[in-house]
Structure 1
Amino acid sequence: MRLSYFLSRRFRQAKHANGFIGFIGKASSTGIALGITVLIVALSVFNGFQQQLEERLLSVIPHVEYDAPEQPIKHWPQKVALLETQPGVSAAAPVIKLNGMAQFKTQLKAVEIRAIMPEHEIKVSKISDFISAAALNELSDGQVILGQQVAKQLGVEIGETVTFLLPDLTKENSLSAAKKQRLTLVGLIEMGGPVDHSSALIHLSQAQQILGYQADEVSGLRMAVLDVFSANKIAMSVGAKLSDYVYVNTWFRSQGNLYQDIQMVRTIIYLVVFLIIAVASFNIVSTLVMEVKEKQANIAILKTMGATDSVIISTFIYQGLSQALIGMGFGTIFGVVLAIWIPDLFLWWNQFSGTNVLAGAYFVEFLPSKLVVGDVFVTLAVTTCMTCIATIYPAWQASRIDPAKVLGQ
């Protein structure tokens, strides 16, 4: 093995009679480096999006929600207590959801109003971490917390009064004149993404007054579960404990496509970039075949001096691996550095260009990145395996050289 390594190093350091061999070798190393860089950066970005989905978005939206389509849910305190005793449930809270229009002066904006009990809401949601100017647990009747972008579009400031236009259904389920509710803006949701563009929070008792509900009546119950990926199973088993007629919704229905898209694109990135790395790795075949052709006299002399076939094969496998290792080394360094700095680079580009391609289109408005060491090791391991496979044929051809034919010419 030491002899094979020594010979491969000498062959690598020797000048080639044909300069094209050196060019193809450098091109192969460059291709491997670029492929590894792209794969590390792409996987880090998708890991970042998945982390933000799990820790940011899923910490705010309900994991499980039970909506009453007809009659309101009665005795919600007892039912919240019942839900919280079920296996897999970490907390439960009441909710009343309304759709309406927010009006400030001449500006109108459609909003999704969620009426909450602050002391229960902070148990099932971390939205309080994204609220500025007021604490969620201080929300009271006559007050509202708006998404930052909603307030921006309306042009309303903290302390000013916003008018809400809410649909009013008669007993015959026909619409009458819209109800008007004037509420004081006390806080802003600054999370980034769709939540900022449509959300409004009010106190539960305020919505009960608007809808004519009793103090123990709500239109829905929501839960936070310990394992978000078991939300569907938990939702169905726990929902059977409720005596009310409800629709069962989980985050899979509202955000499941997003999670599946992330996983699908991750798989596509793996496939495409590994194919790029495979092409670069198998370019080494061309390099080694030409090098075997150029060095056949040297190989013949080595065989007459007693070098075995295994020594010759190992020499050219090392030769191919050395080219790949150069690309893997540079690719890993560049990929790791870019994966760490890409959020800052994206922010700098947004400031430079004055635009943000993620604004309003995704659940975050920045480019997240999470470098996973396991992804780097998998990438390097697969690249090493492909390179070893690529070197087998030319190395075997080198071992088949007949010294008598080559030296007798």
Structure 2
Amino acid sequence: MLLSAFLSERFRAYSGHKDEKNGFVSFIAKASTVGILLGVAVLIVALSVINGFEQQLVHRLLSVVPQVEYVAPSRPIANWPEKVERLEQQPHVTGAAPFIAVNGMAQFKSQLKAVEIRGVEPSLEGNVSAVNQFAGGTLVSQLGQEDVILGKQIAVLLDAHIGDNVTLLIPQISQKGQSLLAPKRVTLTLAGIIEMGGPIDSTAAFIHLNKAQSVLGYDSSQVTGLRLRVDDVFSAHQIALKVGQSISDYVYVSSWFRTQGSLYQDIQMVRTIVYIVVFLIIAVASFNIVSSLVMEVREKQGNIAILKTMGAKDSTILATFVMQGLTQALVGVLLGTLVGVVLALNISELFTWVSQLFGANPLEGVYFIEFLPSKLVLSDIGITVIVTFVLAIFATIYPAWQATRVDPAKVLGN
């Protein structure tokens, strides 16, 4: 009964029915709860956005840019059909295709734009790239001999539309490979436009492999490189080195880590920074629990002394103050999780609304996407809740232990 009365008194003090003397203590307790709430919510939202960027990196950017490439530095790769078939039989390889890559210029009327011209085999390109998902008009898999597909930013700069005749200026190299000849002009019909919000929009020009071979003077079995799609993009470099041993040509081995690896590393670095910073915020909020409980113990020494004289065990007093601190943490965690989950599920729409409201999109032209992605992962929520409770438990141990050290004789004697 005495313990029940004591707990009831503590609940009334925490819920606002308190005198002016312990008003500051109640403020510190509520501040710690709010701090935990904000920390948990921010961490859930931030991790969801980071997960969203990583998901878009894999399913959007890495589905289009080359995951693995073998590029011939000097002489072309011969007999590409046989080598493509051999590569497709290797472990972890889900698709292979040939290509011819050369830097050139795209011209329409008086406008010029530097582009990376890629000659691709339409029947095989879909095995290594999802570029068809972002193509308007003719798809890459339907590319004709006299067609060209350009990135959206290239088409906008040239002011070219589907059906227009676009001229490609392709550099020619002398047979000895020591000098550049006058570029060859090839006029093709703009059959499609790629719009994916990434670097391909401003650099890529796709033409038929046979057309590229004829312009560069290659025969039908010669290409400048072979491209792979693998089943694990995060092991692409290791797979590239191992699979590359199956072809005898002298080639440079390249994976997406070389071209896009810095972006992936930035995402992981931001994830680490978010973990550290937000957990420090939660730790500060937990320290406020320590402060509030220490002051609570000092104010209630008389009550504690009376309980001890009436037979209350130290374990009971310890559990009482631990439960009080954990209650503060529990309220913060539950509300923070609720707020964080709601924001994480709607952050993309909120970002779009704010961008439209201010008429500016900070992601436009900076990253490979122009929206704020979000992917809520239950394990992130679990880790956040567990770590927060662990910090809260550590925060309550010292003040609760101090409460058990109260000497009834000294306190009641004074």
* TM-score, reference length from structure 1: 0.97
Aligned to 1:121: 125
Aligned residues between the structures: 408
SS of 1:18's equivalent in the other structure is helix
Aligned to 1:230: 235
Shift, 1:313, TM fit: 0.5
1:376-391 equivalent positions in 2, closer than 5 A: 376-391=381-396
Q: Take 2:361 and 2:30, find their aligned partners in 1: how far apart are those partners? A: 38
Shift, 1:120, TM fit: 0.5
Q: Take 1:325 and 1:64, find their aligned partners in 2: how far apart are those partners? A: 48
Amino acid at match of 2:185: K
Question: 1:220-276, CA deviations, whole angstroms, 9 ceiling, x for partnerless residues?
Answer: 001111122222222112211112111110111111221122111101110111011
1:63-212 equivalent positions in 2, closer than 5 A: 63-172=67-176, 173-212=178-217
| 1:62–1:4 distance in 2 versus 1, CA, 3 Å | farther
Q: Quick one: which of 240, 254, 259 aligns to 1:254?
A: 259
Q: Quick one: which of 38, 61, 65 aligns to 1:57?
A: 61
Q: Take 2:191 and 2:7, find their aligned partners in 1: how far apart are those partners? A: 73
Unaligned runs of 5+ in 1: none
Identity rate of aligned residues, in percent? 59
Amino acid at match of 1:288: L
SS of 2:114's equivalent in the other structure is strand
| Range with greater deviation from structure 2 (14-23 or 207-216) | 14-23
CA contact (8 A) 1:164 1:181 kept: yes
Residue 357 of structure 2 is aligned to residue 357 of structure 1: no
1:224-373 equivalent positions in 2, closer than 5 A: 224-373=229-378
SS of 1:98's equivalent in the other structure is strand
Unaligned runs of 5+ in 2: none
CA contact (8 A) 1:194 1:361 kept: no
Amino acid at match of 2:384: T
SS of 2:411's equivalent in the other structure is helix
Q: Take 2:280 and 2:217, find their aligned partners in 1: how far apart are those partners? A: 63
Q: Quick one: which of 217, 235, 248 aligns to 2:222?
A: 217
Aligned to 1:34: 38
Shift, 1:146, TM fit: 0.8
Aligned CA-pair RMSD? 1.5
CA contact (8 A) 2:103 2:117 kept: yes
Q: Take 2:5 and 2:150, find their aligned partners in 1: how far apart are those partners? A: 70
Aligned to 1:23: 27
Question: 1:252-308, CA deviations, whole angstroms, 9 ceiling, x for partnerless residues?
Answer: 111122112211110111011101100111111110011111111111111111110
CA contact (8 A) 2:107 2:158 kept: yes
Shift, 1:9, TM fit: 5.2
Q: Take 1:141 and 1:311, find their aligned partners in 2: how far apart are those partners? A: 84
| Range with greater deviation from structure 2 (206-215 or 227-236) | 227-236
Question: 1:167-189, CA deviations, whole angstroms, 9 ceiling, x for partnerless residues?
Answer: 12223421222211111111111
Question: 1:48-80, CA deviations, whole angstroms, 9 ceiling, x for partnerless residues?
Answer: 011111111111112110001111111110110
Shift, 1:7, TM fit: 4.4
Q: Take 1:181 and 1:5, find their aligned partners in 2: how far apart are those partners? A: 90
Q: Take 1:6 and 1:218, find their aligned partners in 2: how far apart are those partners? A: 86
Q: Take 1:362 and 1:403, find their aligned partners in 2: how far apart are those partners? A: 66
Q: Take 1:227 and 1:3, find their aligned partners in 2: how far apart are those partners? A: 63
CA contact (8 A) 2:2 2:307 kept: no
Q: Take 2:375 and 2:7, find their aligned partners in 1: how far apart are those partners? A: 38
CA contact (8 A) 1:8 1:319 kept: no
SS of 1:201's equivalent in the other structure is strand
CA contact (8 A) 2:3 2:307 kept: no
Amino acid at match of 1:353: F
